[in-house]
Amino acid sequence: MAFNQFMHPRNIYRKKLDYDHLGREYPEFGQHVCHDEKGKSYIDYSDIVVLRSLTKTLLKNDFHLDVQIPEQRLVPTIPMRLNYILWIEDLLQHCRLFYQIQGIDIGTGSCAIFPLLATTLNPDWKFIATEIDPINLDYANKNVTNNNLNDKIIIYDNRNIDTIFKHLVQNSHFTFVMTNPPFFEDTFNDSFENINDKKPNDRRITFHQRKTNSASSDEAICDGGELVFIKRILDESLQTKKLIDLYTVMIGRKKTFLELKYLLKDMIKNKTLASFTHTELCQGNTKRWALAWTFDERFNLANSPKILQSKPKPLIHYLDQDMKACDYNIESIGNYIENLLLNDLHIEQFQIIKLNKRIEFDIKSNEANWKNQRRKRREKLSKELMEKIAEDDFIAGKRPLDDDDDNHNSNKKFSQSNELCKTNLTYLLHCSLIIKRDKQDILIKMETKEMSQNKSATYELLQYFKNKLT
């Protein structure tokens, strides 16, 4: 539950769940509660039956909602959905939208989870919730009826309709749109990034093969994935504009989030939009992103509330004054690091800013060339030895030297790789590196930047520089 401290401040699940208490109150869930050798309770989060029972139990215990979730359909996680709703509450408060709140939930699922939670927390809110899956439509209607919310929630059959939501607002005004769209283009996996991950038997992991996933194809997959789906929402918003006050989406991939954020920034520059904002949504070890935009100049979303995370501490390494790699001064160290990036790591995507008392690098890469340095040195020595033998044989007239096609092809591939990197919105590594003085000492400070896929690459690159700067 590493991210729980970064949940929305009003999220009741910031505190760890008491499985024993829930198990005593709800025997159906209690049969899934286990205990380790120290008596500490836990549940098996890899078992979809357990997750379904947990979701139903939390809805009953914390919101007095009775729901049924069919097999082979998505089991919604409550803390993350609650984060999204609470953030929308903050946006409405910020925009001073207090009355006649009407929302549209796109792809409501079998639980109609967003409308059920939102109208329970905010009894004056009303919803139209769309769905295209026939089983989800049936269960969503039943769940709304069983919880006596028919006067607040309408489940809308969106099958055989070409548009996502604009047909709903032709003669009406809505306060907001929300959606948790299908993430995937054709397959499902845990990381939301590495679609080609393979199991030991060398078969691709499809979303149907994962034990803890029970989503239908309509819930998990759409043509082009979430990026194309949200772009369709954005296109429709350009047609409906002020008929809806706020347009919001929850996003599963950082790459998608960044592309959409840059697209919205361009629309602001072109004065197509009035304003937009974004935030991060966290639950357990999972992170999602959310965007909101508006065409109404009355609502300045740029300074709206965000769910803030504490900024990670920068990585700092003090250099040894007796270092032999280069002279112990900022300029010499900067030149040495620049040379390592270009000639040893073959990283060309970096910028340097040389100031009076410091040097700053902005570094991006999609290849982890800083890894396995010992093996690479061995391979280089082996290659040099083989080239020497080949040269000696050539001089002795034994055989001709091999041409340089392999090396040429390798350089060509490297060049192509770097061209592709220039169009990427996320990178294996994106970090800053600063060389500066701290009194009599010189240090390097590194921080992971926004477009990095994770923080581990920054740690690894720092270790590489530590080994070199001795």
The C-alpha torsion from 142 through 144 and 150 to 155, rounded to 10°, is -80
pTM here is 0.71
Residue 21: is its pLDDT beyond 70? yes
- pLDDT, one tens digit per residue, over 428-450 is 888 899 999 998 999 999 998 87
Residue 189: is its pLDDT beyond 60? no
The answer to whether 87 and 178 are in contact (CB under 8 A) is no
Dist. CA 231–CA 256, nearest whole Å: 10
- pLDDT, one tens digit per residue, over 239-278 is 999 999 999 999 988 888 999 999 999 999 999 999 999 9
- pLDDT, one tens digit per residue, over 76-133 is 999 999 999 999 999 999 999 999 999 999 999 999 999 999 999 999 999 999 999 9
Give the amino acid at 133: D
The answer to whether 216 and 74 are in contact (CB under 8 A) is yes
The answer to whether 177 and 106 are in contact (CB under 8 A) is yes
Which DSSP symbol is given to 425? S
Q: Where are the domains of the chain?
A: 4-303, 315-374+425-468
Higher-pLDDT residue of 394, 426: 426
Fold topology of 315-374+425-468: TATA-Binding Protein (3.30.310)
Q: What is the pLDDT of residue 308?
A: 65
Strand, coil or helix: 265: helix
Residue by residue, DSSP assigns 6-71 as GS-TT-GGGSPP-HHHHHHH-HHHHTT-EE-TT--EE--TT-HHHHHHHHHHHHHHHH-------T
Fold topology of 4-303: Rossmann fold (3.40.50)
Residue 382: is its pLDDT beyond 80? no
Where are the alpha helices (H) located in 212-282, listed in sequence order? 217-220, 225-240, 254-269
- The per-residue pLDDT of the chain, averaged, comes to 83
pLDDT band at 181 (very low <50, low <70, confident <90, very high): confident
CA dihedral (23, 29, 30, 36) positive or negative:
negative
**Same fold yes or no, 4-303 and 315-374+425-468:** no
